[in-house]
Amino acid sequence: MLDSQLHEKQEINPNLLNDQKAWLEKDLGQTKKDWKVVFWHKPPCFIRAYQTNEAIKAAFTPIMDKYHVDIVFNGHNHAYSRTYPINNDSIVGSPALGTVYVTTGRSGAKYYDDNEPKVWSANFFDPQDMPNYLVVDVNGYRMEVKNYKMDGPLVDDYIIDKTNGDTPRTAVPPKYNKPRLVVNGVFLNEPMMPTSPSRINGKWYFPIKPVVEFLGGSESVSGENETLSLIVKDYLDPNVIWSDKKVHTIVLTNASTKATMDDVTISLPDSVVVDRGNNFLISADDMKTLCGFTWRYDSDWNILLLINPSRPGE
């Protein structure tokens, strides 16, 4: 059992994560048990729109990988999600190769309107009408996890059998022929505008308009300039302040490595590009500089993933 309430306990114990990492390494390194099961509250494989818990993920999941924890149970999001088996932040073909992360759902009256299935979700259920509960049965080398609605219907039934694999069998999603863009775990699908990322001079670029609109912002173009208006929630950086939750204005200029945010000039790692369709493209590194988004390219899927920053301390 781990404590993921870093944001709430920073002043009490600023070393909360590091202290637990040291304990966890020792505990998992010594155990001879057949099953390794870990519990903590805030999910690294989040299912809400913006609550990403990146610091918690960075602290704990590499240790899950190193010692091959079988299953992790989380809460916090008040909806149910069971991931594909995951190792090194990538989906793998069997629980023998990775860890399954289960966000357990809702036990009381509270629910959220922004839960949704993510690219890592093998099974997702949003229990808005009533709570749900799990039954976990372990018999030798077989573990079965059942998710029920409060009034009885079975929602999900997943079995890990260390001798025969899992049921239902993990089917790893296919590799896409054309690169796809994923924002906060959701495929960006805008039928009327381009969304595909592309490599330009060895860097990953993507159209910024659909990303900003997905995040609830807006975009306008005048000549060589593009103006973006958006809120990036809970981001605090020494150079860029988003934690006030106000609308901020970013102006990009074609072929320039300079942008302005609320009339303050910011240097970008890469030049802004305008394609043949007059779409403004920025690099993934530019997005990190401007808004604090982390990114990675998954070659197994051919997808570029953007993740918005967590609250300070998460």
Q: What is the pLDDT of residue 251?
A: 95
Mean pLDDT of 48-53: 86
Q: What is the pLDDT of residue 314?
A: 57
Question: Is pLDDT at 311 greater than 70 in this prediction?
Answer: no
For the chain, give every domain's residue range.
6-167, 180-307
The percent helix, strand, coil of the chain (3-state, each to 5) is 15, 35, 50
- Percentage of the residues of the chain whose pLDDT score is greater than 70: 94
pLDDT tens by residue, 239-290: 444 556 678 899 999 999 999 988 889 999 999 999 998 999 999 999 999 8
Distance CA 19, CA 25 (A): 10
Q: What is the pLDDT of residue 236?
A: 45
In this structure, are strands 303-307 and 180-183 parallel, antiparallel, or unpaired? parallel
Question: Is pLDDT at 192 greater than 90 in this prediction?
Answer: no
Q: What is the pLDDT of residue 10?
A: 75
Question: Is pLDDT at 235 greater than 80 in this prediction?
Answer: no
Of 85, 72, 87, the closest CA to residue 36 belongs to 72
Distance CA 137, CA 112 (A): 29
Helix (H) or strand (E) holding 264: strand 264-267
Question: Is pLDDT at 214 greater than 50 in this prediction?
Answer: yes
pLDDT tens by residue, 12-45: 888 899 999 999 999 999 999 999 999 999 999 9
CB atoms within 10 A of CB 291: 23
Distance linking the first and last C-alpha atoms of the chain: 18
pLDDT tens by residue, 123-162: 999 999 999 999 999 999 999 999 999 999 999 999 999 9
CATH pick for 6-167 out of 1.10.10.410, 3.60.21.10, 3.40.50.2020, 3.40.980.10: 3.60.21.10
> Distance from CA of residue 53 to its chain's centroid?
8
- Percentage of the residues of the chain whose pLDDT score is greater than 90: 78
Q: What is the pLDDT of residue 238?
A: 43
CATH class of the domain at 180-307:
alpha beta
Distance CA 153, CA 11 (A): 44
For residue 15, give both structure tokens: 């070393």
pLDDT tens by residue, 115-134: 999 999 999 999 999 999 99
Q: For 302-314, b where at least 16 C-beta lie within 10 A, e where not — what string?
A: ebbbbbbbbbebb
The beta strands (E) that lie in 36-131 are given as 37-39, 71-74, 80-83, 86-87, 90-91, 100-104, 121-125
Q: What is the pLDDT of residue 232?
A: 60
Helix/strand/coil (H, E, C) string of 103-116? EECCCCCCCCCCCC
In this structure, are strands 100-104 and 71-74 parallel, antiparallel, or unpaired? parallel
